[in-house]
Structure 1
Amino acid sequence: MLKSVLKAVLFDLDGTLADTDPLHLLAWREVLAPYGLKVDPAFYRERISGRLNPEIVRDLLGLEGKEAERLIAAKEARFRALAQGLRPTPGLPEFLERIREKGLLWGVVTNAPKENARHVLEALGLRPPLLVLAEEVGRGKPDPLPYQLALRRLGVAPEEALAFEDSPSGVRSAVGAGIPTYGLLTGHEAEALIREGASGVIRNFTEFAWPEYTSEK
C-alpha cells in the first residue's frame, strides 16, 4: 500500500507557536484572586489549560451569562496587555520556511478568542492562510470538530496532515480527527500528551524530524 503524501501542517496557537501559557497563568491568577482561587502551575495545567473560557469560569465559579462575559473580557484584556514582545517557539521560523519550500498548506486551529488569536499572530508576524477559531465553529477542543473543519477547508485527508499541540485536550482533538499529532512540552508532561495519542513529543521545532512519507519539492 502506498504511503500518504504530506500536504498540510496544522498548529495550535497558545503554547505551540509561542509559549504564552505563563502569561495566561498570570492573567487568570489576577482575575480569580478576588474569588479566593489560587492559580499555580499545577492548577493551571489541570483546570484551565486547553479549555474554552466559558467552560473554565462555569467549572471554577459557576458563572454564566453577563457576569461570566465580564470576567472573561477582563482576563483576556489583561493577557493582551501582558503579551507584548512575544517571540516564536524556537525553530518555528525555520520550520515555516521548510513548509513553504515543500509547498505544504498550513493553518492554525485554536480555542483562543478571536481578538487574542489576532493579537498573538500579529505579535509574531504570522499570517496563516487558514485560521479556525473554536468560538466560530461552535465546539472547541477536545472535540475534533475544529480540526475536522480545518481539513475540509484545506481539502486534505487526515493522514495527509500533521498537527502540533501542547495540551492533552488539543492532542485529543487532533487525534480524534484522525491526524498524526506531535506534542510540544511547553506546559504538560510527555506522558499526558502521549496518553491522549500523540505520535511523539518535542521541546521545540528544532527537534522535529520530518516523517519519511513527506514528499520533497
Structure 2
Amino acid sequence: MTRAAVFDVDGTLADTNHLHVVAWWEAFRQAGHHVPTHAVHRAVGLGAEDLVEHLLGPDRDRSGDAALSAAHKTLYGTYSDRLPALPDAGRLLRTLAARGWTVVLATSAGGSELAALRRAVDADEVITAIAGAEDTEEGKPAPDPVRHALDLAGAPADRSVFVGDTVWDMKAGTRAGVTCVGLLCGGIPRADLTGAGASAVYADPADLLARLDGSPLGGDGT
C-alpha cells in the first residue's frame, strides 16, 4: 500500500521564513501598518489572505489586502534567484524515495515562488506531486492541503507522515489524521510544535536524515 511522506517547503526544506518576515514587514510598513517582526514570524506559513487576516484582524479595511499581497510578492521575489535550501533537504527526499516512500509537497507557495523553491531544493526527480496554493480553497491550518497531497499520492492518512516547521503545519496535519514531524529550522519553539501536534521534532532536514531510522519516517515505506 502506498505510503506518503508529505513536506511543507518554506522553512522546512528551504531557509526562507525570515526572508518572508522581512518582505511582509516591509509590505505592511509601506501600507502604513506597524506590525512587529515577531508577530509576522509567527504568522508565516499561512496563506497570504489568512496571514493578513491574522495580523490585521477581521475589522480592517480590506480594500488594501490585494496591494499588501502584491507588495510582499514583489519584495520576496528579489530573492528568488538565490533562495537557500536547508542542509540535506534534497538528499532527505531522495533517500525517502529510495526507501519506497511517495514524496509529495504541500505548500502555500505557488507560481514563480514555488518554482524558485523547487530549484533551490533540487529534488524534482523524486517529488511525485505538489499540492500548491491554488489547489485548495482553504490553506493551513485547515487540513485541505495535506488531504489533497494524500489524494495526489494515493496514500491513506494512517500510513503517511507530514513534515513541517510551523504550528499551522502541525495543526493541518493533525486535522488530516497524519503523523506530524516538526522541524526547528523555521524558528518556532519545540514546545509550540509539540503542542500543535508534532509527534517528533528535529533540528532540520539534516538532523532528520541522520536519525531517520528511529523517526516516524523510518522503514522502507512499503
On whether the aligned pair clears a TM of 0.5, the verdict is: yes
Counterparts in 2 of 1:29-68, with a 5 A limit?
A: 29-34=25-30, 35-40=32-37, 42-46=38-42, 48-61=43-56, 62-64=60-62, 67-68=64-65
1:117 aligns with 2:137: no
Output one character per residue of 1:113-158: Cα deviation in whole Å (capped at 9) or x when no partner.
3331122112333423211023321010000111111112211111
The 3 A distance-change label for structure 1 pair 11 and 49 is same
Structure 2 partner of 1:196: 196
* Structure 2 spans left out of the alignment, 5+ residues: none
Aligned partner (choices 105, 108, 113) of residue 108 of structure 1:
105
Q: Return the alpha-carbon distance in structure 1 between the equivalents of residues 199 and 17 of structure 2.
A: 23
Displacement after TM superposition at 1:38 (Å): 4.0
**Does structure 1 residue 178 correspond to structure 2 residue 174?**
no
* Residue ranges of structure 1 left out of the alignment (5+ in a row): none
Distance 1:12 1:63, change over 3 A: farther
Which residue of 1 is the match for residue 148 of structure 2? 149
| 1:167 matched residue in structure 2 | 166
Which secondary structure state, in structure 1, belongs to the residue aligned with residue 120 of structure 2?
Answer: helix
Alignment match, 1:13: 9
2:86 matched residue in structure 1:
89
Counterpart CA distance in 2 for 1:113 and 1:93 is 19
Distance in 2 (alpha carbons) for counterparts of 1:59 and 1:141? 12
| Preserved contact between residue 80 and residue 119 of structure 1 (Cα < 8 Å) | no
Count of matched residue positions in the alignment of Structure 1 and Structure 2:
210
Shift of the 105–81 alpha-carbon distance from structure 1 to 2, 3 Å rule, reads same
Task: State the Cα distance separating 1:6 from its structure 2 match.
Answer: 7.3
Q: Is the 8 A contact 1:6 1:215 kept in 2?
A: no
Change beyond 3 A, Cα 1:216–1:120: closer
Please give the secondary structure, in 2, of the residue aligned with 1:129.
Answer: strand
Matched residue type, 1:91: D
C-alpha separation in 2, matches of 1:149 and 1:52: 16
Q: 1:75 to 1:216 in 2, by over 3 A?
A: closer
Following TM superposition, by how much is the alpha carbon of 1:93 offset from its aligned partner in structure 2, in angstroms? 2.5
| Pair 216,119 (structure 1): closer, same or farther in 2 beyond 3 Å | closer
CA distance in 1, matches of 2:66, 2:8: 24
Counterpart of 2:219? 214
**How far off is 1:164 after superposition?**
0.6
The Cα shift of 1:70 comes to: 2.1
Percent sequence identity is: 24
Q: CA RMSD in A?
A: 2.1
Q: Return the TM-score normalized by structure 1.
A: 0.87
